[in-house]
Copies of this chain bind each other. A is one copy, B any other.
């Protein structure tokens, strides 16, 4: 039984971790961390867990937690994990960080995009970027996982196979993403109020969104050369889901068959990535509540571009589900354990 502690358990990603781990046959939660709700019953914060969770919220004492837990999930704001994690801590327990602190290998690049100094640059080399499909082997032996961002997860899974196979021009990649509002977090801010989000759509972070360098780093790996990406997220009036529509120019001579083969080769053995049949367009509702990523594409013979499409549930595959997937790999149990939830289409 894997003993898991969650720091930041009352945020949306944290609450989803609880939902998933309660259904996980080989794991138990030993610490519900939440600085804002210390000593309050966890089920008072999320009434769905009434009669399912008796525990009260605890603070964020990682050292105490490290004594009790086999793995710590940090679902916390940027900077927290890097300021608390250490080689000493990692000697006692594994850490899966759902924040961005260890996603970008270059601390200068991190500081440029996030505007804060990195608290533990010495650990960056060992941290593994936990997009399981791309880095499974390293995940298996990691002590410190940088769990990918929601937009990067969906973007990379959607675009990487075509870059890896050299089918598209790396300088033409444009990613237009749409996200449900849980992605904005549970902070009490006016722009996240119901009446400010409902019945409207807007872009945000245009040209400067912090997930850009993370996407670029991973797509550069896929392309085997540095690339820049145009990334624009949009806020959508729904709770969950990310929909990525990505554009790139096809290299000369690339056929429909080439593209489909690239996707199928990449994901044939992946339990959580579904390459949809020709003509089926991914919809976020068809992955809701599940760890699936659905991808597909369409070639435009007029413009010689490929339109790549992918969807995930931002809270599951884009956060908590992927974190559990990584935990499974790290502890050597079947990767799909506890993640068999079937998408809820409505």
Seen from chain A, the residues whose Cβ lies within 8 Å of a Cβ on chain B are: 12, 15, 19, 22-23, 44, 46-52, 174, 176, 178, 180-182, 186, 188-190, 192-204, 206-207, 228-230, 232, 234, 236-241, 243, 245, 247, 274, 276, 280-290, 294, 298-300, 302-303, 305, 307, 309, 311, 315, 340-346
Contact = CB atoms under 8 A, between A and B. Distances in A.
A274 B47 CA distance: 11
B342 A195 contact: no
A274 B232 CA distance: 22
A302 B46 CA distance: 32
A48 B202 contact: no
A180 B29 CA distance: 33
A290 to B, nearest CB: 8
Residue among A22, A247, A303 with the most chain B CB within 10 A? A303
A17 B9 CA distance: 31
Residue among A23, A206, A345 with the most chain B CB within 10 A? A345
A240 B199 contact: yes
Contact of A201 (B198, B238, B274): B238
Residue among A46, A238, A240 with the most chain B CB within 10 A? A238
13 contacts: A47-B283, A48-B285, A174-B174, A180-B199, A181-B195, A192-B193, A198-B237, A200-B241, A202-B284, A203-B243, A206-B307, A230-B300, A315-B346
B299 A239 contact: no
Given A19-B342, A230-B300, A195 B182 contact: yes
A19 B49 CA distance: 21
Given A228-B303, A283-B200, A300-B230, A188 B189 contact: yes
